[in-house]
Structure 1
Amino acid sequence: MKLFITIITFLSAMSVSASPLFDALFLHKRQIGGVRLYLSPAILVSTLTSSFKVLICTGANQTGDCTHKVYELEKCHQLPKPYYHNVSTFAPDGESFQCYPRTTGCDDICKSPTGCTFGPVDFNYEHKDNLTAIQWNTLFSSFDCFLKKKKSSSLLA
């Protein structure tokens, strides 16, 4: 009888811990680049994922038509309609990677003397939710994402 109760208790605990309700009540989840962290008072478990999510919307402040997808690193991603030349929100989810928006398509050659990107966009970028503020909402054609390089400290003065 004790074995039966132990097995039932174990199975009940496993089913509760796997439920979304348990996650919502007891675990704090945070997507950081390609690492999903589960934090509880007793446990810190890191599960590596092979991809990175970016939120793209036609309107500022995450409005309009939106897509929130996983994108492969070090690969150019051409924006489809309705996002081609129509992006006001471009928000990478994680702090460990950054993306470079481009005015050119993936197969095009940049011929601008000033370059075809305004630089990296990451989780902390000021205008990620309003590219209209920097007048890029109608220029955005493609993008690629990369892991951030770790800053090394130098002992040279």
Structure 2
Amino acid sequence: MDEIKMRYTLLWFCGLLAALTLSACGGDWGPEDDGDGFGDTGGNTRADVDFEVIHQGTSNNSGDSQDRRVRFLTDQITYEDELAKYSSASARDIEFSDAQLLLVDMGTQSTGGYSVAVSDVYEESGVVNLIINYTHPESDCSVTQAETDPYLFIRLDSSLDVILTEEIAYTAC
């Protein structure tokens, strides 16, 4: 009977050792093309996407209150019409077949101290990830007592679909 217990213990130990050995491989069983010796990681690599903030400000020309919005501008005329609502700046010539143009409007805020900025833009898995950061003042900050409307016009050098992520941060005073 002791001999049978010993065989089962030995088999259990060998099974445990095999499981530990296989788990150390990290489960990377794909084709070998990533150079790590254990197979492919899936091909999801991150690549920066060129972008430019071509217009930005904190007030609009219309004087009307705005709601927060993000809008894709698909042609030069629409871009020029939207820009005229925000600024007297001249519109840039945009080649819409090679780029995308977005208007990011934080909406009308009751005081100063608010801002909007691009945190990151990158391509991964066939889409562009655009991360926008909205900054709010802390409640004890000294800010101007005038309405503001922070906005950005962003040119993305890609025609891929865009996933927008919005983040909120607070300014410490």
TM value normalised by structure 1: 0.27
Higher-Rg member (1/2):
2
Higher RCO (CA < 8 A, seq sep 6+): 2
TM normalised by structure 2 equals 0.25
